[in-house]
Amino acid sequence: MAFTFHHPYEAVPPYQKRVAYCCMEFAIAQPLKTYAGGLGFLAGSHMRSAYNLKQPVVGIGILWKYGYYTQVRQQDQTMGVLFEEKIYGFLEPTDIRFTIRVSQHDVWVTAYYLPPEVFGSAPVFLLSTDLPENDYVSRTISHKLYDANPETSIAGSILLGIGSVKLLEILGWEPDIYHLNESHGLPLAFYLYNKYKNTRLLKEKLVYTNHTPEESGNRKTAIQLLEKMGFFCDIPLTEVKGITQTSGDELNHTLVALRLAGLANGVSTMHSQYLQRQYQAQPGVCPIKSITNAQHFGYWHAPEMYAALAAADDTALLAAKAKAKTALFDEVADQCGEIYNTKVLTLVFAKRFAGYKRAGLLLQDRERFHRLVTNPGRPVQIIWAGKPYPMDYSAIALFDQIVHVCKQYPNCAILTGYELKLSKILKRGADVWLNTPRVGHEASGTSGMSAAMNGAMNVSLPDGWFPEFAVDKVNSFVIPPCDTSMPEHLQDETDAHSLYEILEKEVIPMYYDYPASWLSIIKQAMATIAPAFDSNRLAKEYYEQLYGAPPIE
């Protein structure tokens, strides 16, 4: 029987506009490994909130056969990368078949369906080219998330962008709005332009969210290569350059998305201000708003801790935290062979290992680090976790350096497999959640939000979302930032010194000497993180600020 689609729940006012949400990665639940990091965590939370609010949203992504990768260990405990086939019995095959054009060849595409009732999300379709009708090269388009091969990456963008629209056309579900969550699916804009032959209509249909100020995340590609591969849907190159206002031989994906969309947003106040400074003066750029990222409270929060908070039962809250620490320490013991103590202050640094996030900042001054982790009077336990990009050899080298450091100390450990399940365990068991990016480089950084939902103390530099939440020594600790005009190595030295100072003179003494003050900050963080940083707020704001009628230039 042919697959038919009707949105599985009835939209409620004021959410009437139908939205196609196109994203390269979705972190909806641990068993569905179609994500790398923060972008996926955000998209997963958004899909859960769209379901909670009964918003008529359909998510569209790609079913990555090997996921991002499976993080494993080599013989000496250093990091290994395993591309392991994933099996998903809970996805419904649609048996739909259609073609997209990649490098002047037809590539067959199918789609798999994730119904809302499986994980409590808006309906999601995941596209795949892993079909017997395709040759091997075409099948690899949907094999690895963020494939390092440039042509495969471009083909993935064509699959997401053009495949999304074609699938919805076959299903007969016409969106009022197409939401590009990052510019990976940019060919969608050219497909719609080719369909309407009208930039005004395109702008009425298209909105765009940018998630990073990092140059590596804002792609620039040779325009001839994109044309050769079919990125522009056979629109003549002179016309492409005209509608995108591109004069050179390189296409700036972010700038083009901002010119073809009717509205766009950054993902924190600081990030939106950066985008406005960087792009708003450029000709043809759409208005750029600010909608700060958020995480799904229902999925992330620790129910036992919040029940104790609501009952004003501090004893129960501390008992729930100790229980969560025990669960985390079981994982540490299993992976690393170290037995941690629930009464000892536990610091966690868990992120995607990107350079600007500075997972090694604590190791900047090795003598001071040694004193920190060998102090018998005020002991600490430290846990790192995170998945580097599998071809980012400097990030993998840093992971391996931390592995060797941890071998020297029984109270230091680094875990593999940083996905949703481990992330939740870490946040519930952490006393301190560290966030140490170079200021100005973190667009949002949402891990601290869900950490606060689990009774963890945020100790962070004021970047991304954090200045919108943090009240120093009231609901978190704010690390004083350095002068960001300094060379990066001086920024690292200065910020490391500030981190040691705040840990040695404020955070660690408060934990051991003033437990009532410590608990007060934890409770304040738990009370103030929601609803402001619950993704239900985010999903509402997208309808209110981005999915309305975009202004037409």
Comparing CA positions, the residue from 179, 248, 240 lying closest to residue 18 is 179
Please enumerate in sequence order all residues whose Cβ is within 8 A of that of 45, keeping only pairs 6 or more positions apart, or say none.
294, 295, 296, 299, 300, 446, 535, 538
Q: pLDDT, tens digit, for every residue of 431-463?
A: 999 999 999 999 999 999 999 999 999 999 999
- Do 19-295+537-546 and 302-529 agree at the fold level? yes
Domain 302-529 grouped into CATH 3.30.70.920: no
* Three-class secondary structure of residue 213 per DSSP: coil
User: Does residue 553 have a pLDDT over 90?
Assistant: no
Which amino acid type is present at position 424? K
What is the pLDDT confidence band of residue 294, given thresholds at 50, 70 and 90? very high
Q: Taking a C-beta distance cutoff of 8 angstroms, is the pair 31, 518 a contact?
A: no
Q: For the chain, give the percent of residues with pLDDT over 90.
A: 96
Question: Is beta strand 345-350 parallel, antiparallel or unpaired with respect to 380-385?
Answer: parallel
The pLDDT assigned to 253 comes to: 98
Q: Please, what CATH class does the domain formed by 19-295+537-546 belong to? A: alpha beta
- In DSSP notation, 78-134 reads -EEEE------TTSEE----EEEEETTEEEEEEEEEE-HHHHT-S-EEEEE---TTS
Tell me what the mean pLDDT of segment 389-404 comes to. 96
- The answer to whether 347 and 432 have CB atoms below 8 angstroms apart is yes
What tens digit of pLDDT does each residue of 120-167 get? 999 999 999 999 999 999 999 999 999 999 999 999 999 999 999 999
Q: Where are the domains of the chain?
A: 19-295+537-546, 302-529
CA distance 261 to 281: 16
Identify the pLDDT of residue 277: 95
pLDDT of residue 217: 81
Q: Please answer whether residues 202 and 263 qualify as being in contact, where contact means their C-beta atoms are separated by less than 8 angstroms.
A: no
The burial class, CB within 10 Å (0-12 / 13-18 / 19+), for 204 is: middle
